[in-house]
Copies of this chain bind each other. A is one copy, B any other.
């Protein structure tokens, strides 16, 4: 919808038709945990623009409850199912924008289709989840997978007064962090009363339990937080090339290999600015930027999407987490040699009462000092500091550049040397 609105803005004469399988358009799926936790009063609050608003504002012919079943690039038409009228229609097009998003990973395990097992990818998913959670007999929640959404939902269920376990097959939650940075997050979750179980693959689901190698875990409600995969099965045989993890291959203008076919968002690849490789990163920020670029180009303008750093932040209770660029695993895998600076500090002047702690981990390339990535865990004010490092990486800065930055200082907001500069200084010494 972002691409559609943008294209309309550039060329109001375009006839734009959008097909959406569900009832909803343009909503913040990232906000679902806050509806579950009760701080946001209803899923409709997450809707940024309704289908009708798109129709009225951008003259986009949005057809909800329509599912695209087939794409024929030679004859330039779509096969679209309209279940309300029990029919399948053929829709011609000149330009095709693919914004099919992602599907939550659903492992092929016994009991995966039980009604207690929920995904949280769409507002419809969230509606089912909430309906279930509000039923009286729901006391124990198990979140399968310790990613961002999993952790945010775990906190939300704690806020609802439920007993919550997070079961993660890997060695730590938040696999996009290095292990040493994930540990304080797990500590924070445990302080919140969450039963964090790592290195524990789920083997199946049954009535009221999640089965694991370490025995059953009580579960009236189960949430899958195992990440997503590109929703691109529809493209098989169409001639549109898929790339990493079967996401749509796109160039810097969001063009696919097929003439007049564009893609953006969770169904598409991104280009990583540090590793210089295609990556699959399903985040709302990336989606919106890619969609804007696709829309400008479809509308006859010119725009490019330079790429991503995998910047991500979250907050579990009072613990904030941020990461950008490459972590150690990714940097090693991409062939970089680097030093690692770890520093502990405070987000505000240390002499003020109860200064929140912050740990910054910075990876800098050996010899050049170029910043490759960073991770932050800390209290209030910690996470968004990652943006400074993301900006510095985008600029190709080395750690000396970061040390020289004229960053803001005021005792209730920052120590004199911002923790990021302290990390840069440490890295400089190591280099």
Chain B: minimal CB distance from A346 (Å):
13
Most chain B CB within a 10 A radius of its CB, from A28, A386, A395, A405 = A405
B309, B349, B395, B418: the one contacting A406 at CB < 8 Å is B309
B31, B411, B412: the one contacting A349 at CB < 8 Å is B31
Please state if A351 and B285 are interface contacts (CB–CB under 8 Å).
no
Chain B: minimal CB distance from A7 (Å):
16
Q: Give the distance in Å from the alpha carbon of A351 to the alpha carbon of B48 in the complex.
A: 10
**Contact digits for A405-426, partner B, Cβ 8 Å, 1 yes 0 no:** 1111111111011100000000
Q: Give the distance in Å from the alpha carbon of A119 to the alpha carbon of B401 in the complex.
A: 36
**Contact digits for A284-327, partner B, Cβ 8 Å, 1 yes 0 no:** 11101100000000000000011111111111000010101000
> Does A394 belong to the interface (CB within 8 Å)?
yes
> Does A328 belong to the interface (CB within 8 Å)?
no
> Does A353 belong to the interface (CB within 8 Å)?
yes
B310, B387, B388, B416: the one contacting A288 at CB < 8 Å is B416
> Does A381 belong to the interface (CB within 8 Å)?
yes
Q: Give the distance in Å from the alpha carbon of A407 to the alpha carbon of B46 in the complex.
A: 21
B40, B320, B352: the one contacting A40 at CB < 8 Å is B352
> Does A74 belong to the interface (CB within 8 Å)?
no
Contacts of A306 in B (CB 8 A): 404
Given contacts A39-B353, A351-B31, is CB(A315)–CB(B413) below 8 Å?
yes
Most chain B CB within a 10 A radius of its CB, from A273, A283, A388 = A388
> Does A24 belong to the interface (CB within 8 Å)?
no
> Does A172 belong to the interface (CB within 8 Å)?
no
Given contacts A288-B416, A320-B413, A418-B387, is CB(A28)–CB(B349) below 8 Å?
yes
Given contacts A383-B408, A407-B387, is CB(A413)–CB(B286) below 8 Å?
no
Chain B: minimal CB distance from A325 (Å):
9
Contacts of A46 in B (CB 8 A): 351
Which A307-363 residues have a C-beta within 8 angstroms of B? Answer: 307-315, 320, 322, 324, 349, 351-353
Please state if A406 and B285 are interface contacts (CB–CB under 8 Å).
yes
Given contacts A39-B353, A352-B34, A418-B387, is CB(A406)–CB(B394) below 8 Å?
yes
Q: Give the distance in Å from the alpha carbon of A320 to the alpha carbon of B384 in the complex.
A: 15
Q: Give the distance in Å from the alpha carbon of A28 to the alpha carbon of B409 in the complex.
A: 12
* Chain B residue with the shortest CB-CB distance to A381: B384
B34, B288, B349, B385: the one contacting A417 at CB < 8 Å is B288
Which A1-45 residues have a C-beta within 8 angstroms of B? Answer: 28, 30-31, 34, 39-40, 45
> Does A397 belong to the interface (CB within 8 Å)?
yes
Contacts of A353 in B (CB 8 A): 39-40
Contacts of A406 in B (CB 8 A): 273, 285-286, 307-311, 324, 390, 394
Contacts of A45 in B (CB 8 A): 351
Q: Give the distance in Å from the alpha carbon of A62 to the alpha carbon of B394 in the complex.
A: 44
Chain B: minimal CB distance from A189 (Å):
16
Chain B: minimal CB distance from A120 (Å):
14
B307, B315, B386, B414: the one contacting A412 at CB < 8 Å is B315
> Does A392 belong to the interface (CB within 8 Å)?
yes
Contacts of A40 in B (CB 8 A): 351-353
Please state if A391 and B405 are interface contacts (CB–CB under 8 Å).
yes
Q: Give the distance in Å from the alpha carbon of A410 to the alpha carbon of B312 in the complex.
A: 8
Contacts of A352 in B (CB 8 A): 31, 34, 39-40
Contacts of A386 in B (CB 8 A): 408
Q: Give the distance in Å from the alpha carbon of A160 to the alpha carbon of B31 in the complex.
A: 41
Q: Give the distance in Å from the alpha carbon of A417 to the alpha carbon of B315 in the complex.
A: 18
* Chain B residue with the shortest CB-CB distance to A389: B391
* Chain B residue with the shortest CB-CB distance to A308: B406
Which A135-153 residues have a C-beta within 8 angstroms of B? Answer: 148, 152
> Could you show 9 A-B contacts with beta carbons less than 8 Å apart?
A40-B352, A40-B353, A285-B406, A312-B409, A384-B408, A384-B413, A384-B414, A387-B405, A394-B405
Question: Known contacts A384-B384, A384-B385, A395-B395; can you find 10 more A-B pairs with CB under 8 A?
Answer: A31-B411, A40-B352, A285-B408, A285-B417, A286-B406, A288-B417, A313-B410, A387-B387, A390-B405, A391-B391
